[in-house]
A and B are shown apart, each in its own frame.
Chain A
């Protein structure tokens, strides 16, 4: 490991730059959210397809299966972002009178998340004035073990034959099993690629895929709240900074200087 450019007493060695970047990012996000100016955003096909998926299922008279992931670490950012979109999907299903099935489980942490998911879906049905159509049995806890959950999920897909399968949040190796089965039963599949190694397979197996930050930005994208969307600008700025570091670092390394390596180790 390279030695840092400098150290500051009180701050753990090698973490000063990370702290500085985090603090600046927080300030930037607050600034842009206060400014409220809506940045240009490209269309995200996967998120736009959610409405199409629910509509398709309503026309076919088939249910929608939507999952928030296996929540391996409990409330991680993938799961929390997925819950936001689950609320949106639940409202669409309530509005169109489509049955919504939310298989839960997959890890020990998923049980902590389940009550929030149940409340999210119940609230969505309530807001659409269809509370009597909400059935908690449509949010079955399948298992705390990943592959037992997968077996249950696939069983639900093969019995219910949904019109759409929306897999949000953190899905790992079971994602392949589920998407291929969803394809086999003729469902439109929208998945989130939270695990880089899964992306190639999911891109082939599913109809739409949300890659990387599209999954975490989904809630803000669908909410159409200017303040939430304005925060994406800060992300873009940091991506440009990362690109600048990459290019300058590449030039510096080839010129024989380890300045950027040491800077990143500060």
Chain B
């Protein structure tokens, strides 16, 4: 019995049933299935919450291993564990005001924003390194990129109004056309990939290798 539940066939059956539960209510009016999907949301939210608990456990396990063995930079791991414990305590003291709210606004927000802002630095070094007119295609890309970048600077639009139609032409024809083509291509690839998975032709998905199939 347990061998059946570990087999490829059992996994595929579960996968096909899950697929039909999502697929059918999307296209057909089936009130009973719609109600069932509401229950699924609750289950998914609980599973999601449970993974957070697992994540915290995993971090503690790894962190304690680092600290116990005195590995390089173990102090950062200790600081991380102290941060996790403090945030859990703060959260129990109320989330709207108090230390939790302060931590979110004074520490988490600036740190998250800084990480995102660092992208600008990486982008600028990438532009300097890679935006070179090596051939005709690269030159065309360079010219288009130059015009769009120039237009994106707010001052340019104010002092050179004529650049707006050219820059918008690039973003609203070429860039948008590419985005649409990309969406079509990715969607088709994803659907066909999904069909291969449901037919059992992607053994890696189930954790099997070709040899084990």
Contacts and interface: CB of A to CB of B under 8 A. Distances in A.
B193 A80 contact: yes
A19 B202 contact: no
A33 B198 CA distance: 13
B188 A33 contact: no
Contacts, number: 159
How many B residues are at the interface, by size bracket?
35 or more
Contacts of A181: 122
A81 B193 contact: yes
B119 A176 contact: yes
A122 B85 CA distance: 32
A127 B192 CA distance: 28
Nearest to A124: B209
Contacts of B168: none
B96 interface: no
A177 B123 CA distance: 8
Contacts of A141: 55, 58-59, 62
Contacts of A81: 193
Nearest to A140: B62
B196 A196 contact: no
A48 B64 CA distance: 41
B122 A196 contact: no
Among B47, B123, B191, which residue has the most Cβ atoms of chain A within 10 A?
A: B191
B27 A180 contact: no
A25 B195 contact: yes
A201 interface: yes
Interface string A55-91: 0000000000000000000000100110110010000
Interface stretch (B1-9, B97-105, B127-135, B150-158): B127-135
A264 interface: no
Interface of B: 26-29, 47-48, 51-52, 54-55, 58-59, 62, 111-112, 115-116, 118-119, 122-123, 125-127, 129-131, 178-179, 182-186, 188-197, 199, 201-202, 204-205, 207, 209-212
Interface of A: 10-12, 15-16, 18-19, 22, 25-26, 29-30, 33, 77, 80-81, 83-84, 87, 108-109, 111-112, 116, 119-120, 123-124, 127, 140-141, 143-145, 147, 150-151, 173, 176-177, 179-181, 183, 194, 196, 199, 201, 204-205, 211-213, 215-217, 219-220, 223, 225, 227-228, 231-232, 234-235, 238-239, 242
28 contacts: A12-B28, A15-B27, A33-B201, A77-B189, A83-B205, A84-B202, A111-B54, A111-B55, A112-B51, A120-B204, A127-B211, A141-B55, A141-B59, A144-B52, A147-B115, A176-B122, A183-B129, A196-B182, A201-B123, A204-B131, A213-B185, A216-B186, A220-B196, A220-B202, A228-B201, A228-B202, A232-B192, A235-B192
